[in-house]
Amino acid sequence: MVQITLPDGSQRSFDGPVSVGDVAHSIGAGLGRAALAGRVTTTDSEPTLVDTSYVIDQDAELAIITAKDADGLDVIRHSTAHLLAYAVQELFPEAQVTIGPVIDNGFYYDFAYKRPFTPEDLVAIEKKMAELAKADIPVSREEWDRDEAVAFFKSIGEHYKAEIIESIPSGETISLYREGDFIDLCRGPHVPSTGKLKVFKLMKVAGAYWRGDSNNEMLQRIYGTAWASKEDQNAYLTMLEEAEKRDHRRLGRELGLFQFHEDAPGLIYWHPKGWTVWQQVEQYMRKVYQDNGYQEVKAPQILDLSLWKKTGHWDNYSENMFTTESENRVYGLKPMNCPGHVQIFNQGLHSYRELPLRYGEFGQCHRNEPSGALHGMMRVRGFTQDDGHIFCTEDQLQEECVNFTALLQRVYKDFGFTEILYKVATRPEKRIGDDEVWDKAEQALMESLRRTNCEFEIAEGDGAFYGPKIEYTLKDAIGRHWQCGTIQVDFSMPARLGAEYVDANDQRRTPVMLHRAILGSFERFIGILIENYAGALPAWLSPVHAVVCCIAESSADYAKQVADTLRAKGLRVNSDLRGEKITRKIREHSMQKIPYILVVGDKEREAGAVAVRGRGGLDLGVMPLTDFAERMQNEVDSRQ
């Protein structure tokens, strides 16, 4: 007798071993048809995702996974990646399959083939995938001996797949999945048949190095997306179209904000207008530091390699660090700011009465990112963080976390982001420190979110080896998620670098170190702002608040006077005195997404007024110059 406990607490008994699919059918024919996989928990195992064909031979808890579940969508996407590989080999038998994982919103599969795949090939492949899906071919799991599997894949010319299997320890049993004439290595689970895969689309082809190593051969990566419903896919494709219009790289070029050049890969050339945006962000964050008890500091760009070894960065991060040498000493160009802040803290012995001590830095960092991973401002090699470190006692940990979360919420709101996702990453298996300290740190992070009325997820085991963290993810105007802010509890680095304070009993103690950032990388955050607002930044961030356009030469002097008056009030204003038609001037400046266009002619000059056009063609009529100046200043000051 096997007893199955369902998520609602109800139980079902079976005379003997039973498959996940049979349990689903016993509950109802509809659930049986919808079942894609199962999550099984026994006294001997943690919750495990399995195929519907998986046989349960002991009492267990079971959740039936359908397309409505997040895990179900992952199963669909993983299975669709296999369907893609199946279709490619049907059309191009000489193509070798390599690796095909699930990624955000879809999947990809890497192939080795003698020629580049074309857009026409993608159309043909997608058509073949639809045919194979319609055929409703059963998908079955097989377990093979490792060496047997290596020999098999070599025999059919799949040398990449054989190499992957050879990296698995000898003697282990591996799982393969078969659908029709196609068989592939995979842990699973997969859908029971190809007929479950109804909504998918191939997106593009890109190059990818075998196993991500630039020393290896270049493969072809086909990206695709798959969804539970046509409506979901259409919404995603619409979002992609909107994202393309908002691409910060295109807008940065069109609006004259910044540029990239091959002589500095992963680094940014800021133009005057773009640097103006940068300065507004930096000045705002500097005021945040000043108003919330942070002391701004500046640490060196390069530090002796011995320091990076003490902190553990060299052992765990050396491949991402730039190095340089001088006088037989090796230095690391800093990828992060924390060691420098500990060194500043260590200058002099601190009393517990000085804590918490909060340091903030607009610290420029460099990381040796692979060239293939670079993506505009979103992934660069040189960046500046609004980096801060708080040195505090364990008793102060709770309050510091509460205050930081509330501060982050206020900052994000000022930039126009009100939807934030919160995730607490807890202790990993490999960690330092005793459980009592970890309990205190994790509870402090969770309680800080509860006190600020935040619902949060738990990411079990995703914390750093030195402590847990909160990840703050903002949601933009078209529904995309961007993880920007973080606060991490660190019991390791202060001790490694000898940081101490004197407690109330004159005993030397190691402080707790909180690593925190609100915006993260300035470059990335500005890129997010540009895309969120489609280039039409709020007035307080806009590089130009207004442009004054004269209708004719007779009003040119007045246009200059208007611009000078507004600039004297601290507003960023340009004037356009060209002899062009006013309609052309308005059109050109509208395309630059300037918040206000002020049109002046003889009537406006005589009245001391301006005709105001707001962004988006909004006609605000004629108003006295003093009224417009007050309106503009209020809008900038209130960050509307």
In the set 389, 572, 585, 589, the catalytic residue is 389
Task: Tell me if 299 sits within 8 A of 337, measured CB to CB.
Answer: yes
Between CA 507 and CA 498 the distance in angstroms is: 15
Q: Tell me which of 338, 365, 392, 401 is the catalytic residue.
A: 338
Rounded distance, CA 301 to CA 326, Å? 14
> What gap in Å lies between CA 261 and CA 462, rounded to an integer?
36
Q: Is 338 annotated as a binding residue?
A: yes
Q: Catalytic residue at 387?
A: yes
Q: Which residues contact 262 (CB under 8 A, 6 or more apart)?
A: none
Active site residue 589: no
Amino acid letter at 550? Answer: C
Catalytic residue among 280, 385, 396, 488: 385
Task: Respond yes or no: is residue 549 known to be catalytic.
Answer: no
Rounded Cα–Cα distance for residues 425 and 409 (Å): 19
H-type alpha helices, 535-601: 556-568, 582-591
Going by C-alpha positions, the residue among 137, 133, 130, 140 that lies closest to residue 190 is 140
* Residue 550 in marked binding region: no
H or E element in which residue 522 lies: helix 522-532
User: How many C-beta atoms surround the C-beta of residue 95 within 10 A?
Assistant: 18
Whether 365 sits among the annotated catalytic residues: the reply is: no
Determine the Cα–Cα distance for residues 279 and 63; give it in Å rounded to an integer. Answer: 53
Q: Which residues contact 219 (CB under 8 A, 6 or more apart)?
A: 98, 110, 111, 112, 207, 208, 209, 210
The C-alpha atoms of residue 159 and residue 174 are separated, in whole angstroms, by 17
Give CA separation, 523 vs 12, 240, 526, in Å.
56, 22, 5
CB of 338 within 8 A of CB of 297? no
Active-site residue (options: 78, 221, 469, 605): 469
User: Of 406, 441, 437, which is closest to residue 426 (Cα–Cα)?
Assistant: 441
Catalytic residue among 51, 121, 387, 490: 387
Phi/psi at 147 (5° precision): -65, -35
**Residue 515 marked in a binding site:** yes
Pairing mode of beta strands 218-227, 106-112: antiparallel
338 part of the active site: yes
233 labelled catalytic: no
Query: Is 385 among the catalytic positions?
Result: yes
Phi–psi pair at 257, nearest 5 degrees: -90, -45
Strand partners, 225: 201
Q: How far apart are CA 569 and CA 629, in angstroms?
A: 8
Catalytic residues: 338, 367, 385, 387, 389, 469, 515
- Annotated binding residues for Zn(2+), written as ranges, equal 338, 389, 515
- Annotated binding residues, written as ranges, equal 338, 389, 515
